[in-house]
Structure 1
């Protein structure tokens, strides 16, 4: 195994062009596990840790441009307002040591259906900035995942940053696991209210071959909120509306039976998480609408690993 250590982004792109099979290494929270267990033996490792810009972020009026190597810890500490759903998801990632090293760019590169950042990225609205010596492009996150642990990167491309829409309303993330910490998701659900566009977006993890949005549920809720005047009135959502949203969200799943849970359980869990996270985010929106402090909803907490919630 050969170790490539570029000093800057240009050198990294050149190295990837010369060695397309090179596996990028930054936090190493996925790659090193696979190597240590002899599940993967790449010919080249491409160390990106010397490239400072990958650990930086910039904000404008609408988006955060998040460098591919920005850790979950830094997102939680510095971007919990702008990227509230992603920060909540970060709290469920592994241990403090893993959160100090793991990054959204690495999570995207691994493209696991159970990646903890993916539902939040889908719900917020995001684009993945990728680049090669041939040029750069931005891929909508819902088009980035192409299969189980497969993504839309060309063999000579690297992830440079993720452009994530800043929260204009409450966001939530919920995850079910077999214990409360350091666990891969049995399934996960993210939701974001976008009052600026009067839309709702969702993200589902570990309940299909790729992370997915519950588009039928989103369309139903968008129409119901608009037709019922809920955005303007801030009134309580009727239980029947939340129940239909949950049913449609469950219908977006295409899960399998595996050692972590059955397909039936995953569909049920997604339904429960969809109903509950909608309730938390809407109550937070109502609080802000009526002069309260608003926030992320449900006191900013997520039932990480809370199998009892289903």
Structure 2
């Protein structure tokens, strides 16, 4: 197995162009597990640990730009106010050791349907920055996933950053598992209020071949919310929203849960997170994730 350790992004992109089968590694929380269990034996590894710009975050064109290798722990500590939904999701990832190594870029690269960051990214309408020696392109996160553990990356491309607009309204994330962290989600749901756009963003995780938004649920609730003179939501509205979220899922039966249970749980998570977020919008204070 070959091992490449570039010192700059330009060197990394050149190496990926020359060695398209090289597997990128930063935190190693997914790749090293696969190597240790002999589930994967790539021809080469491309270590991104020395590339400074991948480990930085800042503002660009009014959005928060998070380098692909910025660990979850820093997102929680440094970006929790601007990106509360993503910070909530980050708190449920693995153990403190994993949160100090794992990153959103790695989560996107793995493209697992159960990745914890995906629902929050979808709800916030994030964009993925992708680079190669041919140039840089931006892909809306909803278009990034193409199948189970597959994405739009070309063989010579690397994820370099994620761009997310700072929250203008309440955000929530919740997942079902045997415990809150150090567990693969049975199902997960992210929600973000966008009062400036008068809409609600959603994201489903571990409930379909790819992470996805609940589009019909978003369209329904957009017609039910009074942004100018907000008032408490009727239980019937919350339940209809939950039902539409469940309908958006295409879950499977596996060792962690049945398809029927996943749909039921998503409906519950959807109406709870919407209730919490709308309560915060009404002035009830911020709720922590479930």
Query: TM-score by structure 1 length?
Result: 0.92
Residue correspondence of structure 1 range 93-242 to structure 2 within 5 A: 93-225=93-225, 230-242=226-238
- Tell me, in whole angstroms, the C-alpha distance in 2 between the residues paired with 1:181 and 1:168: 27
| 1:215 shift after superposition | 0.2
- Tell me, in whole angstroms, the C-alpha distance in 2 between the residues paired with 1:206 and 1:123: 15
| 1:234 shift after superposition | 1.8
Does residue 283 in structure 1 map to residue 279 in structure 2? yes
- Secondary structure of the 1:101 match is coil
Does 180-189 or 33-42 show the bigger shift? 180-189
- Secondary structure of the 1:3 match is strand
- Secondary structure of the 1:284 match is helix
The answer to whether the Cα contact below 8 Å between 1:178 and 1:260 also exists between their aligned partners in 2 is no
- Tell me, in whole angstroms, the C-alpha distance in 1 between the residues paired with 2:235 and 2:269: 14
Does residue 248 in structure 1 map to residue 244 in structure 2? yes
State the number of aligned residues: 290
- Secondary structure of the 1:243 match is helix
Q: Runs of 5+ in structure 2 lacking a partner?
A: none
Superposed CA RMSD in Å reads 0.9
| 1:61 shift after superposition | 6.8
- Tell me, in whole angstroms, the C-alpha distance in 1 between the residues paired with 2:180 and 2:129: 33
- Tell me, in whole angstroms, the C-alpha distance in 2 between the residues paired with 1:7 and 1:71: 19
| 1:179 shift after superposition | 2.5
Q: Runs of 5+ in structure 1 lacking a partner?
A: 304-310
Q: 2:257 matched to which residue of 1?
A: 261
Write out per-residue CA displacement over residues 231-290 of structure 1, whole angstroms, 9 at most, x where no aligned residue. 111210111111110000000000000000000000000000000000000000000xxx
Write out per-residue CA displacement over residues 140-195 of structure 1, whole angstroms, 9 at most, x where no aligned residue. 00000000000000010000101112100000000101223300000000000001
- Secondary structure of the 2:69 match is coil
- Tell me, in whole angstroms, the C-alpha distance in 2 between the residues paired with 1:274 and 1:247: 9
- Tell me, in whole angstroms, the C-alpha distance in 2 between the residues paired with 1:126 and 1:190: 13
Query: TM-score by structure 2 length?
Result: 0.98
Write out per-residue CA displacement over residues 186-236 of structure 1, whole angstroms, 9 at most, x where no aligned residue. 0000000001111100000000000000000000001121xxxx2111210
- Secondary structure of the 1:98 match is helix
| Shift in CA distance, 23/66, structure 1 to aligned 2, threshold 3 Å | same
